[in-house]
């Protein structure tokens, strides 16, 4: 029983890290139908820029805000300088462009921060909390908390505001949206800025757990992307469900079957789920309706 | 469609042409080697001794290659300031393989054929060294590698021209098991990285456990960048292990140390020489306290007792390095030192062509005191170190310290 509890807590920790990264994929996809494969790099930038600010002695929470703003500016720049110029290209070409962006950001990061990992202090104390026989660090609980906050924020933004309606309109039918006076270009720019911000937030939340380095975006990108696909691309609650399912599968797989096979177990399960529900757990069968 | 075909054909042609160009290039170089009477004469005149060194100064292996590179530069300058080797100046052609096999092979071909070097030092990583091994064997040029894996010089019959200075994984495992025997710990749980470093470590840990009466109660693995290893640790803890052996390089072991700390299990954390750096302590923070590892003595030369045979060599080197580069040489710097000084030792004693340098290294190096350890090279052993060249270190107040009673 004690073991089961610890495996579950670890699964929750891992799963919410994947989920929080997956939310960034979902935001861009639901507006532009582009899968931004540089999302993991935004997460990395969140961690590394925070490290730089802390290093020059800026207060923790001010650094936190500055990092968010800076990464959002980078996200906006990426959209403005590269994605926007390729206007009219089909989503596949744009996805390939984002791979290039990812490699570029990674290269620059390795020059700026070197190849080593860095340590970033946790939000609050490092003292682990015991839940019966299992233990969890406060930072893991912060990750879960921030993840829930982001989902609620996205829900309100998309379903309760005019901006959200515009998002949905652009996704469903860009020409019609334009006729209604909505600029798809501006919405695309906004979605990149927003998802860079979400990526940075994810990076800030997981950095104290993961020891970020220039290449951490690769692993997080793959896992986050898998979570987003599993949940049904375009669905924020789906991304969370997908992330948590992968986290639990990995933890139970490592705990009860074999730690060497845990990735194989997790991804076999993902394949099976996708075979049964090709559109993902919470994905809509009728693609093209748009919205998160 | 036609256009596409045309482009494809053009590209094909370009590739074929490129390949031809490459071919003629290499044949020219081999030609060079055949008709090099001028350079052979130069050797007779002995205006200077030329060695080649290939280290990974850039790329993922740069933390290894950089101290090796720096050390080589520093020593060559020192040797020449003191009048060279028996009055003959030494020149080392340094090349950076950028942590890639292809570049390593290119560079060793260039050094052997164009620069006509007497011996090749390097490279830093195992894959690069194994790639270079073939070229060195084919051209019959002595090569002294700074790579960890034993395959570089084993089996010895197929490694006639290859030597290496770092301790092999096997020695690190032996040193850990010796320590466990001293501490009366016989049940261990293994947690190894799934990469090449972790899997070769696991092999050695399994192979040698019988010899030291160590029982392995659990075998778990992880990926270098996994976010949390609490699950594996929980399983190891309930398997009845008295100690945990972690085989990997940063950041994995640092995350494991933090997890172990927060789970509050009462198992000592024993690491590999892969985390013999300040970075590990920096990352793991409080979780690093009490971690035990096997390491070369160059990690903390000032803590080595004065009676140690290596004390003088180590400390002179360490102080020179710190004074010149304002950074720590680490264990990797010591490999760079031994690689070069072994070749210099051969040159000093009259072995001034490729074959005699090899023979000298194999037959005459016994009880040779280097910075990594005391070398005894022979036709059966082209590494020449024993497990006692490693010491056991532990983390105390955020510093690596030598374990006194070992």
Chain A contact probe: residue of B62, B227, B255 with most A CBs at under 10 A: B227
Q: Is the pLDDT of residue B22 over 70?
A: no
B384 three-class SS: coil
Per DSSP, B35 falls in state T
Residue B11 φ then ψ, to 5°: -65, -40
Look at domain A2-120+135-289 and name its CATH class. Answer: mainly alpha
pLDDT tens-digit readout, A29-88: 888 788 899 999 999 999 999 999 999 999 999 999 999 999 999 999 999 999 888 877
Please, what's the largest Cα pairwise distance for chain B? 80
Q: Are A260 and B194 in contact (CB < 8 Å)? A: yes
pLDDT score of B31 = 36
C-alpha distance from A120 to closest chain B C-alpha (Å)? 9
Q: Let me know how many helices (H) and strands (E) chain B has, helices first.
A: 13, 14
Domains of chain A by residue range: 2-120+135-289
- Among A126-135, A244-253, B18-27, B180-189, whose mean pLDDT is lowest? B18-27
Q: How many residues does chain B have?
A: 406
B110/B129 Cα distance (integer angstroms): 16
Residues from chain A contacting residue B246 (CB–CB below 8 Å): none
pLDDT tens-digit readout, B316-355: 999 999 999 988 888 999 999 999 999 999 999 999 999 9
Q: Are A14 and B286 in contact (CB < 8 Å)? A: no
pLDDT tens-digit readout, B54-110: 999 887 788 889 999 999 999 999 999 999 999 999 999 999 998 889 999 999 999
The pTM (predicted TM-score) of the whole model is 0.81
User: Is B235 at the interface with chain A, CB within 8 A?
Assistant: yes
Beta-bridge mates of residue B245: B190, B270
**CB distance B128 to B100 below 8 Å:** yes
* pLDDT mean across residues, chain B: 87
Residues from chain A contacting residue B255 (CB–CB below 8 Å): 209-211
Share of chain A above pLDDT 90, in %: 55
- As a dihedral over the C-alpha atoms of residue A94, residue A98, residue A99, residue A104, rounded to 10 degrees, the angle is 140
Find the closest chain B residue to A219 by CA distance: B225
Find the closest chain A residue to B236 by CA distance: A255
Q: Is the pLDDT of residue A286 over 60?
A: no
Residues from chain B contacting residue A126 (CB–CB below 8 Å): 262, 285-286
CB-count burial class (<10 Å; 0-12, 13-18, 19+) for B403: middle
User: Is B230 at the interface with chain A, CB within 8 A?
Assistant: yes
pLDDT tens-digit readout, A165-182: 888 888 888 888 889 888
Q: Are A211 and B251 in contact (CB < 8 Å)? A: yes
Q: Which two tokens stand for residue A48?
A: 């590394």
Torsion sign (Cα): B343, B345, B346, B352: positive
User: Is B309 at the interface with chain A, CB within 8 A?
Assistant: no
Q: Is the pLDDT of residue A120 over 80?
A: yes
Residues sharing a CB contact under 8 Å with residue B69, sequence separation 6 or more, in sequence order: B53, B55, B57, B94, B96, B336
User: Which of A117, A135, A260 has its CB closest to that of B251?
Assistant: A117
């Amino acid at each position: 029983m004690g073991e089961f509890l610890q495996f579950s807590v670890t699964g929750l920790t891992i799963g919410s890290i994947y989920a929080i990264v997956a939310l960034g994929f979902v935001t861009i996809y639901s507006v532009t139908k582009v899968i931004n494969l540089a999302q993991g790099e935004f997460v990395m930038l969140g961690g590394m820029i925070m490290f730089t600010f802390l290093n020059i002695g800026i207060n923790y929470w001010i650094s936190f805000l500055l990092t968010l703003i800076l990464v959002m500016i980078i996200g906006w720049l990426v959209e403005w300088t590269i994605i926007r110029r390729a206007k009219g290209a089909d989503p596949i070409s744009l996805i390939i462009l984002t791979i290039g962006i990812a490699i570029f950001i990674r290269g620059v990061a390795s020059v700026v921060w070197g190849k080593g990992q860095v340590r970033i202090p946790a939000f609050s104390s490092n003292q682990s909390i015991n839940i019966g026989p299992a233990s969890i660090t406060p930072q893991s609980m912060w990750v879960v908390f921030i993840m829930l906050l982001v989902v609620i924020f996205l829900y309100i933004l998309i379903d309760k505001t005019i901006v959200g309606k515009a998002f949905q309109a652009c996704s469903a039918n860009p020409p019609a949206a334009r006729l209604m006076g909505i600029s798809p270009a501006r919405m695309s720019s906004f979605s990149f800025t927003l998802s860079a911000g979400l990526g940075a937030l994810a990076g800030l939340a997981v950095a104290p757990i993961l020891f970020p380095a220039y290449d951490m975006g690769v692993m997080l990108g793959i896992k986050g992307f898998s979570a987003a696909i599993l949940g049904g691309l375009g669905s924020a609650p789906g991304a969370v469900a997908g992330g948590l399912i992968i986290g639990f599968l990995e933890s139970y797989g490592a705990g009860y079957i074999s730690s060497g096979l845990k990735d194989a177990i997790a991804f076999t399960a993902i394949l099976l789920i996708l075979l049964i529900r090709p559109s993902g757990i919470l994905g809509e069968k009728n693609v093209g309706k748009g919205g998160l | 469609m036609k256009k596409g075909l045309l482009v494809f054909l053009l590209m094909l042609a370009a590739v074929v042409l490129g390949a031809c160009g490459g071919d003629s290039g290499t044949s020219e170089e081999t030609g060079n080697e055949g008709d090099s009477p001028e350079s052979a004469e130069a050797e007779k005149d002995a205006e200077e001794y030329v060695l080649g060194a290939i280290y990974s100064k850039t790329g993922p292996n740069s933390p290894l290659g950089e101290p090796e590179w720096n050390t080589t530069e520093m020593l060559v300058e020192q040797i020449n300031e003191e009048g060279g080797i028996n009055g003959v100046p030494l020149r080392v052609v340094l090349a950076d393989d950028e942590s890639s096999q292809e570049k390593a092979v290119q560079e060793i071909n260039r050094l052997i054929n164009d620069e006509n070097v007497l011996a090749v030092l390097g490279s830093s990583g195992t894959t690069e060294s194994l790639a270079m091994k073939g070229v060195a064997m084919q051209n019959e040029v002595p090569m002294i590698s700074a790579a960890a894996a034993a395959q570089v010089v084993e089996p010895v019959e197929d490694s006639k021209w290859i030597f290496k200075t770092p301790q092999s994984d096997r020695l690190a495992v032996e040193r850990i098991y010796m320590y466990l025997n001293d501490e009366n710990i016989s049940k261990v749980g293994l947690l190894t990285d799934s990469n090449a470093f972790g899997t070769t470590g696991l092999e050695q840990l399994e192979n040698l456990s019988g010899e030291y009466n160590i029982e392995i109660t659990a075998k778990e693995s992880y990926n270098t960048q996994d976010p949390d290893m609490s699950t594996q640790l929980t399983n190891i803890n309930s398997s009845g292990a008295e100690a945990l052996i972690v085989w990997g390089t940063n950041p994995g072991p640092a995350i494991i140390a933090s997890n172990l700390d927060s789970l509050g299990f009462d198992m000592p954390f024993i690491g590999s020489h892969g985390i013999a750096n300040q970075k590990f302590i920096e990352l793991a923070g409080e979780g690093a306290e009490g971690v035990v590892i096997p390491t070369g003595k160059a990690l903390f030369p000032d803590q080595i007792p004065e009676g140690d045979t290596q004390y003088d060599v180590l400390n002179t080197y360490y102080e020179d390095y710190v004074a010149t580069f304002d950074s720590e040489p680490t264990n990797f710097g010591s490999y760079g030192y031994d690689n070069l000084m072994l070749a210099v030792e051969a040159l000093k004693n009259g072995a001034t062509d490729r074959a005699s340098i090899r023979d000298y290294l194999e037959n005459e190096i016994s009880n040779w005191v280097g910075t990594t350890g005391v070398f005894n090279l022979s036709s059966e052993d082209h590494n020449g170190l024993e497990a006692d060249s490693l010491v056991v270190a532990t983390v105390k107040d955020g510093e690596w310290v030598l374990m006194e009673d070992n």
